[in-house]
Structure 1
Amino acid sequence: MPDWHELAACKLFPELDFIQPGGDGAKPAQRAAAELACRTICAVCPVRLQCAVGALERRERWGIWGGMDYQDRKLVAARFGYEPPGDPPEHGTHSRRVKWGCACVECKAGHALYEALRREKRRAEARARNVWAVPLVLATPLRVGRRLLPAGQLLLPLQVCTF
């Protein structure tokens, strides 16, 4: 335990829960009042900066630390180059690659697999809706304006919509 913990103002208020202000099952008004009390105590705490930096370095997910809740720590972490608070998912997953920015080989492979499955799902949905038109193949060259389309050229038929 860091020695600054002994100087923290929250140690003088053991009845307040800084990890889950308001406690389990608290109504929104009770939770807001408890958070305000915690933030007020943090505002005058002599070790507020050490507490906040420690929470950012440990990537604390829960509670009020240095006067900041999870959302505040998330914004400060993004602005000052800390890793975002919370527990990252397992390596080799799409969410760790995208949301946590992990560039390891396993996460890249997990992301590639996710994207391939997502694209295949979208293609299957499009095939089920029958939006893919079968292209026509020109048997002989065809002149269209100033252009000459060679034999074997693929043409996509346009579907005419009538309203």
Structure 2
Amino acid sequence: MELKAILQLENEEKYEAALTKYRQAYFEKPSDFEIWKHYYFFLWYLNVEDGSLGLQEFVKINNLSLELEQISNDGIKKYSQIAEGLFVLGYTINLFPYLFGEYVEWEQKGKEMMVGAANLEPNNIIYSMVVLGLGVEIQGNLNYKMVCKKAAPIVNDKFSSNGLLNSYFKAVLFRIN
């Protein structure tokens, strides 16, 4: 089953079927960045949102916290030189560092990954926007506001497809009123 079909399962909230298909796809193509990226995000999202989605038992029975750890470690090993890999890892780790280990240590690692992504692709306006937002006062920062405005149409375009990763990042990275 191709990734597009798995992302449709995510949209339809068929998480059990999506998990089965992700496991199969990742086993068949363990070096496919796109599969890893969406699979990793899927696991992260279900671990983070298990309560609001009513999936606590599903997450527990399927041991998705251990699976998230394994897939994130795999991604860190394989994709630390790919800006998008660093960005997705860094953003998610920075938001919920306790899922990965010691809070302060992993929060810092997440920030470093996002900065690393911005350094690898200095012309990527989305990465620049997020890094600017890490350590600056958002209100009143004209540079940050300008970057948010420039990034908005790119965010809409980049994250316009199906799936949890796309809908999540479209929502959190579209930062203009």
Task: Name the TM-score, length of structure 1 as normaliser.
Answer: 0.26
Instruction: Point out which structure has higher relative CO (alpha carbons under 8 A, 6+ apart).
Output: 2
Query: Is the helix fraction higher in 1 or 2?
Result: 2
| TM-score normalised to structure 2 length | 0.24
Pair member with larger Rg: 1
